[in-house]
Structure 1
Amino acid sequence: MSRNVRFHATGDADVLHLDHVDVPAPGKDEVRIRARALGLNRAEVMFRTGEYVVDPAFPSSIGYEASGIVDSVGPGVEHVSVGDAVSVVPAFAMTDYGVHGELVLAPASAVVKHPASLSWEEAAAVWMQYITAYGGLIDIAQLQAGDTVLLPAASSSVGLASIQVARMVGATPIALSRTSGKRDQLLEAGASEVIATQEEDIVARVRELTDGHGARVVFDPVGGPGVAQLAAATAPHGIIVNYGALDPRDMALPVMDVLGKHLTLRGYELFEVTQDDERRGAAVEFVLDGLSRGLLHPVIDRTFVLDEIADAHRYLEAGSQVGKIVVTIPE
C-alpha cells in the first residue's frame, strides 16, 4: 500500500489526507515512480479549493510535480527504464493523474530523466516553474538579448525562474514586488532592478530604467486593475503575457495605451506548451541545457515532509516564500 495525498471534498488544507491506496501496474505508455520529493504549486491549491480550470472527482488525487526512481514501466515505454532517476513535467490533467504520493503513476510523455547533478528536491522543483517561464518568455514573447522584461510577483518560483531565463538569453529582468522587504533577495537572485509597487511609481521607475522606452515584455501572473500600470510601462509594440489571476478582479486596460502603442495582451497557460509534443520537446531541451550549464538552478524556499502536506499547503497560501516549496519522502 502507498500513502498518497488525496481529498474527499474541496476546502482548506485540512481536507488533504494521506490515504493508503493500491497503485496498479503501469498501463500502456505509463510509468510508475517511487517518489522522493514533490513540488508544490498554486495550481494545486486552486484545485483543492475548487477554483481551478477543472473540478476534482472525489476521492481526488492531486499534484503535478514529483521526482523519484522508476519502479516499473508499461508497454510502449522506451525512453526510461526501471531504476532511472526521473522527474515529472506537468503535461496532464490532475483529474487523470496526481503525482503527490509515495508510489504514483504518470504518463510516459511527462517523465524526464533529469541531470544527475540535481538533488531530489531540486528535480521536483524544475518543470512547472521553468517551462512556465520558457513558454511565456521564449515560446510566445520571443524574449532576446537587449530586451527588458517586467516580472510581477517576482519572488514566486516562476518569478525567480523567469529572472534566470531572462539572464540566460541576455535580457534585463526587472522584478516587481509589493514591498521592498524582498529587494535584497531578488537582487541576489539575479534581478537587474527591483521595484516595490506599493512604495514606488512603477511607470516612472520603468521609464527611468529604460531611458524612456518602457519594457518590451511583461510577464504577469497577477492581472486585475494593476495591469493598467503595466500597460503604461510597456514599450511601443510590446507584449503583456498574462499567466495567472492572483488578483481575481477584472483587468483594467487603458484603450489609448493599447491603440497608441500597438500593444499585445496574450493569455497563456503552461499546458499549451506541455501538451504539444513539439513545443514540450523544445521546452525540455531548453531547460535541460540551462541546468547542465548552470544557468538555471532551482531556488527552494522550504521543505516539508510528507506527513506535513497540509502545513506545506498553508505555507504556500501565506505567500511569504521566496522560491519553491518542496515536500520530501524518506526512503
Structure 2
Amino acid sequence: MARERSEAIIVTEHGAAGVMQWREVDVPEPAKGEVTIVNHAMGVNFIDVYHRSGLYPGRLPHGIGVEGAGTVQAVGPGVDFLMPGDRVAYAMSAVGAYARRRTLSAAALVKLPDAIGFEEAAAVMMKGLTSQYLLRQTYRVQPGETILFHAAAGGVGQIACQWARHLGVKLIGTASSPEKAALARENGAWETIDYSREDVVERVMDLTDGQGVPVVYDGVGQATWEASLACLQPRGLMVNFGSASGPVQGVSLSALQKKSLYVTRPGITAYLDTHEKLEAAATDLFDAMRQGAIKPNISHRMPLREAVRAHALLESRQTTGSTILIPGD
C-alpha cells in the first residue's frame, strides 16, 4: 500500500489548548503487528489535556488523543485476529487518535460488537475501561457496599454510577451543583453531595452511620485529597486516579497512620497491559452495554477541526458527559 496522507491534530509545543494545530500528516504502512484504521469517531479525555499541556510530556511534535473507533483499512504482517473491514475500538493507544486515519499496534484494538455504534464506542471506551478496572479490579466492589465517587456527573463518574447500580452497590457521588448532582442520581448514584453547599465528610458520615466508606474513587486530586482520606473506614483504600484540580503533592504518610489507610495511584496501562486483559475488560464493558446497564451520555459532538474548543470546554468543566470528535467537517 502506498504511503497515504491524513488530516490530524498535532502539537509542536506544550501549552494551552491553542497549541493544537490542524495538519496533514503521513500515514505509514502497517508494519509487523500493526494495522491502519479509518477513524469514525474519537473520544476527548482529560489525559489528552495532560499530553497537550506537558504534564505527561511526549517527544515533540506529536499527535493527541488515545481513544477512538473505526474500521480496519489495512493489516500488517503477523496480525491474525483482524482483517480489513472489521469494526474496532481502542483506548489508551499511543497518542494520535485525533486523525482521520492512523496506523497503530493491533494489540490496542478490540473488535466492536455490531450492536454498539462507533460514536457510542468512542464515548465509552476510555471511561468505561477506567470504570471497569476501578470497580472490578483496583477494589472489587460488592453488592450492598457503600462507596464514594468524586465528580460523579463527569464522564467517568456517570459510567461508574451506572455500573455501580448494575452491581448492587450504593454509590455516593459528589458534584459541584444541584444540576450535576441530579445528573449523577439519574445515572444511578444512590445519594449525592453538592460540595458547593455541603460538607462532604459530614454527609458521608451521616449516610454511613459514622462508619465511613471502604473505598474512595477520586479523579479530582489536590482539592479533594484530605476530605477523601477523612471519609474512609479504618484500613480503607484511597484510589487517586486523576488530577483534574491539580496533582496531589507533599503527601505525609503519617496522615494515613491513624486509620491504617491504603493509597493507590492506578493507571489503565498497568491493568490492561496485555491484549488478553484488554479483551477481558472490554468484554465486561460491552456485555454491560448490551444489557442496557451502561448507556454513554454524549454531551458534545464536534468536528475534528474544533479540537481546541473541545479542550476548552473540558477544562472549564462545561461538559457533563462524553465529548467526541467526528472526522468530517
Normalized against structure 1, the TM-score is what?
A: 0.92
State the match for 2:249 in structure 1.
250
Per-residue CA shift, 1:43-64, capped at 9, x if unaligned?
Answer: 1111111111xx2222211210
For residues 115 and 277 of structure 1, what CA distance do their matches in structure 2 show?
17
Amino acid at match of 1:70: V
State the match for 1:33 in structure 2.
37
1:76 aligns with 2:78: yes
After superposition, residues 281-320 of structure 1 pair within 5 angstroms as 281-320=279-318
Per-residue CA shift, 1:13-34, capped at 9, x if unaligned?
Answer: 2221221122121111111111
Number of matched residues? Answer: 324
- Cα contact 2:174–2:181 (8 A) shared by 1: no
State the match for 1:222 in structure 2.
220
After superposition, residues 69-108 of structure 1 pair within 5 angstroms as 69-90=71-92, 92-94=93-95, 98-108=96-106
State the match for 1:46 in structure 2.
50
SS at match of 2:159: helix
Among residues 180, 183, 193, which one is paired with 2:181 in the alignment?
183
Judging changes above 3 Å, is the alpha-carbon distance between structure 1 residues 255 and 58 closer, same or farther for their aligned structure 2 residues? Answer: closer
Amino acid at match of 2:50: M
Give unmatched runs, 5+ long, in structure 2.
Answer: none
After superposition, residues 228-243 of structure 1 pair within 5 angstroms as 228-243=226-241
Judging changes above 3 Å, is the alpha-carbon distance between structure 1 residues 293 and 128 closer, same or farther for their aligned structure 2 residues? Answer: same
For residues 322 and 223 of structure 2, what CA distance do their matches in structure 1 show?
27
Alignment root-mean-square deviation, CA: 1.9
- Cα contact 1:154–1:176 (8 A) shared by 2: yes
State the match for 1:158 in structure 2.
156
1:267 aligns with 2:265: yes
- Give 1:262 shift: 2.8
- Cα contact 2:146–2:169 (8 A) shared by 1: yes
Normalized against structure 2, the TM-score is what?
A: 0.92
Amino acid at match of 1:265: V
- Give 1:261 shift: 2.9
1:24 aligns with 2:28: yes
SS at match of 2:308: helix
- Give 1:161 shift: 1.5
For residues 123 and 247 of structure 1, what CA distance do their matches in structure 2 show?
27
Runs of 4+ with deviation above 4 angstroms: 251-256
Judging changes above 3 Å, is the alpha-carbon distance between structure 1 residues 59 and 224 closer, same or farther for their aligned structure 2 residues? Answer: closer
For residues 283 and 161 of structure 1, what CA distance do their matches in structure 2 show?
14
1:9 aligns with 2:13: yes
SS at match of 1:14: helix
- Give 1:308 shift: 1.3
State the match for 1:170 in structure 2.
168
- Cα contact 2:164–2:188 (8 A) shared by 1: no
- Give 1:255 shift: 4.2
- Give 1:285 shift: 2.3
State the match for 2:69 in structure 1.
67
Give unmatched runs, 5+ long, in structure 1.
Answer: none
- Give 1:225 shift: 5.3
Judging changes above 3 Å, is the alpha-carbon distance between structure 1 residues 318 and 141 closer, same or farther for their aligned structure 2 residues? Answer: same
For residues 267 and 89 of structure 2, what CA distance do their matches in structure 1 show?
20
SS at match of 2:143: coil
For residues 67 and 21 of structure 2, what CA distance do their matches in structure 1 show?
18
